[in-house]
Amino acid sequence: MLDFTWKIFSQTGNIETYLLMKELESDYRENSSYSFEEDVTEFDTQI
C-alpha cells in the first residue's frame, strides 16, 4: 500500500497523498506483527 501511495504522490505532487503515506507508514511500524516486506512482495506479484 505504501508503494502505491508513493507512486501516486510522485506523479501528482499531492501533499495529502504524501501525508497519507506517512500516516500509513507510522501505523504499520506501530503494529509489530505487520511485515511491510510481505505487503510489497504481494503487491509486486499482482502487477
How do residues 1-47 score in pLDDT, each as one tens digit?
778 888 998 999 999 999 999 998 888 887 755 555 555 555 555 55
pLDDT computed for residue 31 by the predictor: 78
- pTM score of the predicted model: 0.56
pLDDT computed for residue 29 by the predictor: 81
Residue 34 — φ and ψ, nearest 5°? -90, 135
CA–CA separation, 37 vs 46, rounded Å?
Answer: 14
Residue 32 — φ and ψ, nearest 5°? -65, -20
